Structure 1
Amino acid sequence: LLYGYSNARVRAMKGELLKKPQVLDLLGAKTQNGIIEMLSHTPYKENILSLSLRFKNEELVELALGQNFAYNSQKLLRIAPKPSRRALLAFMERYDILNIKTILLSKRLGKKGEEMAHYTMGAGSLSFGDLKAMWELPDALSVLSYLRYSEIGQKIFAMHSFAKAKESVSGGRDFEQLFGMLDSYYYASATAAIIGTGKDSQLLRSIILSEADAKNALTVLRCKAAGMDTEGALLHLVTFGTLQKGFFESIANEKDMKGAIAKVRSKFGIEESKALSLSIIEAELESRLVATSLRALSFSMMSIGAIVGYLFLKEEEMSNIRKISRGKALGLSDAQISQMLVFA
């Protein structure tokens, strides 16, 4: 009874998710207006209508996706039974971390707030007011100073040195050290919030740790592609996950990217491929993680399991639509965009 109502509501919400053929239909649209027209016949209709007088083209698509995701995330928090909320809130801090990274990255790239604001996800503990305020700040150091006094910022900098965070954004650095701090905070916070030793708790922890493994593998591949040596690449690992440091060292020590990518594919059970693009291996890892997580979550008896399963599917849907919209705006071919899409 405790979880019956919320699980029924989540099943109903899953029924509103776009099916794979609907997403692929978007890929066939010739223009942004074509994508918008198709989305206006889906559960995104109200979001499109409410924003269409002020925004156009891919910006309208981005904002409609973000608004819809925020609405559904808040709905999940309302229907989740009280025993599940602490773990759910900690899990949803992943969106805070993603938003913070996006804002910091935009500052490093010299982008204006209004150019990038629609790339944030309206979920997590940071309000739209907080996000807007950070977007309007002049640089990364100002963002960190603002973040320091937010609820999540206080928790992050209780775990990691604020002085080191400031140092990591100075002198034209690439922010990887800071991003590692943010990721480490999330993995520590989320796993600590999932209390208990039952199968469901162990399952959720294992999903989060698997994400950390995939992130570390991608980090080492990116460092190797950038010409970084093994020692430097290993410094960027987050200290969570199930895979040993020796595995990541072996990736970095491969003589070329082909060998490194093959080793990652083999470890994560991904089919061999001639494709060596990091964006493709990232999509392959994401697809593998979503598929295995959803398969495991389908056996969960807790509402938190059903809710997390829905969030994975909703993230996947939103990410695919964004890739299609952005890809077309950048002039990519349908074949190029299709390689980046993820379906569980």
Structure 2
Amino acid sequence: MQLLQKFKRGNSRSRFTGHSNYAYTTARVRAMKSKILPNETYPRLMNMGIYEIARFIGESEYKEDVDELARQYEGADLIEHALNRNLAVTFTKLIKISEGELNYLISENLKQYDVWNIKTILRGKYCKASTEDILEAIVAAGSLSYTFLSELATKSNYEEVVSELENTEYYAILRNYNGTNLSEIENQLDKMYYAGLFATTGSSKSKDRKLFARFIRIGIDIKNLTTLFRLKKAGITDPDMMDLMVEGGLKLKISDIERMLPLSFEDFIAELSKYTYWEEISDVVSPDMVSLIDVESRLKKHRLKSAASFSNVYPLSIVPIMDYMLSKQNEVSNLRIIIRGKAANLSDELIREQLVI
């Protein structure tokens, strides 16, 4: 069951000491980013079957992961586990090679995977998913080790899962889970994560903390805008839905979102045209649009482009590392979309629409 070595790390706040090695870490990250699959790879993969894709991935940067797991899995399952293992190993490497403030900021950012994994396990228990199905979605890139997470996945119910997390920072929220309010708990965990990120910046005048905060705030804008589109498309205008929104966005303030939430879809679009994000999505948005796939893909692509552009402006900072992390996450997401789509016999057109290239 142990696909990864134990990645348990100490509290990142206690590690925030000493000199930050930005020059060394960003140089290593540039080398790592050069190995990201080029966009022209994805059309080639679309023409392959599952086993051909597995062979291709096994000859790429994922070779070690595929080789390690090939004795346990095959086909789509092998690729799924190899992608998650590689993502965890890659991001853990960033922790190992960074020092001081840089290490601290990266560690705090990677807590998104603690939240992801806890939500995945709780959802699995709620849906009565198998341990194997839960493990397939685990990415041990945060502070919780794969060994610990895999043990949580074997628990028979959510009470046992929550009990095992009693000594973590997440327990203050998880102890209020009663088996029926999962959406509420997931939302609180997300907000806790973002609150923690902003706590890392505080009132510091550090250039990197300011850059880090800006990067996070753009991400919050994208998250809130995506949620707004989904609510609008579903015709939901309930003010209580404001609880789904995260404070701290760069361009979209909470007051802006409160004003847009009660609007009809048509009026929402008209209001949104006043914001800079409109330029990225205007040609795929219409009152009678059937799907939000294009909108969400454009927003993700915008964030990737913004990160890359920002990285060029601040080459010796936290930004190139964040840029690389987004690019790596997107690569894994694209590969997962292709393999899942192939396994589900989806049309190439539908799979291609979901890729962010």
The answer to whether TM tops 0.5 is yes
Gap change, CA 1:264 and 1:46, over 3 Å in 2: farther
* SS class of match (1:298): helix
Gap change, CA 1:113 and 1:200, over 3 Å in 2: same
For 1:178 and 1:53, locate their aligned partners in 2 and report how far apart those are by CA, in whole Å.
Answer: 37
Look up the match of 1:328: 342
C-alpha contact 2:211 2:318 (8 A) present in aligned 1? no
Look up the match of 1:166: 177
Gap change, CA 1:261 and 1:104, over 3 Å in 2: farther
* SS class of match (2:224): helix
For 2:21 and 2:244, locate their aligned partners in 1 and report how far apart those are by CA, in whole Å.
Answer: 42
Gap change, CA 1:116 and 1:2, over 3 Å in 2: closer
Residue deviations 1:270-317, cap 9 Å, x none?
A: 232155423433222222112212211222244532222211111111
**Alpha carbon RMSD of aligned pairs, Å?**
2.4
How far residue 324 of structure 1 moved from its aligned partner, in angstroms, is 0.7
Look up the match of 2:46: 27
Letter in 2 for 1:166: Y
Query: 1:290 pairs with 299, 304, 309, which one?
Result: 304
Is it true that 1:181 corresponds to 2:188 in the alignment? yes
Look up the match of 1:232: 240
Gaps of 5+ in 1: none
For 1:265 and 1:276, locate their aligned partners in 2 and report how far apart those are by CA, in whole Å.
Answer: 20
By percentage of residues, which structure has more helix? 1
**Matched ranges for 1:121-140 at <5 A:** 121-140=139-158
For 1:297 and 1:308, locate their aligned partners in 2 and report how far apart those are by CA, in whole Å.
Answer: 9
Gap change, CA 1:265 and 1:132, over 3 Å in 2: farther
For 2:353 and 2:142, locate their aligned partners in 1 and report how far apart those are by CA, in whole Å.
Answer: 29
Look up the match of 1:102: 120
Gap change, CA 1:283 and 1:107, over 3 Å in 2: farther
Is it true that 1:153 corresponds to 2:170 in the alignment? yes
C-alpha contact 1:39 1:45 (8 A) present in aligned 2? yes
C-alpha contact 1:203 1:296 (8 A) present in aligned 2? no
**Matched ranges for 1:300-315 at <5 A:** 300-315=314-329
Gap change, CA 1:183 and 1:321, over 3 Å in 2: same
Is it true that 1:206 corresponds to 2:225 in the alignment? no
Residue deviations 1:22-58, cap 9 Å, x none?
A: 23321221x2101101112211112112211210111
How far residue 225 of structure 1 moved from its aligned partner, in angstroms, is 4.5
Query: 2:228 pairs with 196, 217, 220, which one?
Result: 220
For 1:210 and 1:220, locate their aligned partners in 2 and report how far apart those are by CA, in whole Å.
Answer: 15
For 2:224 and 2:232, locate their aligned partners in 1 and report how far apart those are by CA, in whole Å.
Answer: 12
* SS class of match (2:59): coil
C-alpha contact 1:221 1:251 (8 A) present in aligned 2? no
Gap change, CA 1:59 and 1:262, over 3 Å in 2: farther
For 1:302 and 1:186, locate their aligned partners in 2 and report how far apart those are by CA, in whole Å.
Answer: 26
For 2:91 and 2:235, locate their aligned partners in 1 and report how far apart those are by CA, in whole Å.
Answer: 40
Letter in 2 for 1:119: A
C-alpha contact 2:94 2:106 (8 A) present in aligned 1? no
Gap change, CA 1:328 and 1:162, over 3 Å in 2: closer
How far residue 182 of structure 1 moved from its aligned partner, in angstroms, is 0.9
Gap change, CA 1:71 and 1:262, over 3 Å in 2: farther
For 1:142 and 1:263, locate their aligned partners in 2 and report how far apart those are by CA, in whole Å.
Answer: 47
TM-score by length of 1: 0.87
Residue deviations 1:174-212, cap 9 Å, x none?
A: x22212211111111122224632443222101111212
Letter in 1 for 2:46: L
C-alpha contact 1:221 1:252 (8 A) present in aligned 2? no
* SS class of match (1:20): coil
Letter in 2 for 1:44: Y
C-alpha contact 1:95 1:121 (8 A) present in aligned 2? yes
Look up the match of 1:51: 69
For 1:147 and 1:231, locate their aligned partners in 2 and report how far apart those are by CA, in whole Å.
Answer: 33
Letter in 2 for 1:284: R
TM-score by length of 2: 0.84
C-alpha contact 1:69 1:123 (8 A) present in aligned 2? yes
For 2:253 and 2:207, locate their aligned partners in 1 and report how far apart those are by CA, in whole Å.
Answer: 24
Gap change, CA 1:213 and 1:138, over 3 Å in 2: farther
How far residue 262 of structure 1 moved from its aligned partner, in angstroms, is 7.1
For 1:262 and 1:51, locate their aligned partners in 2 and report how far apart those are by CA, in whole Å.
Answer: 51
Is it true that 1:192 corresponds to 2:219 in the alignment? no
C-alpha contact 1:211 1:289 (8 A) present in aligned 2? yes
C-alpha contact 2:237 2:263 (8 A) present in aligned 1? no
Letter in 1 for 2:262: N
Is it true that 1:254 corresponds to 2:274 in the alignment? no
The count of aligned residue pairs is 330
Look up the match of 1:118: 136
C-alpha contact 1:283 1:341 (8 A) present in aligned 2? yes
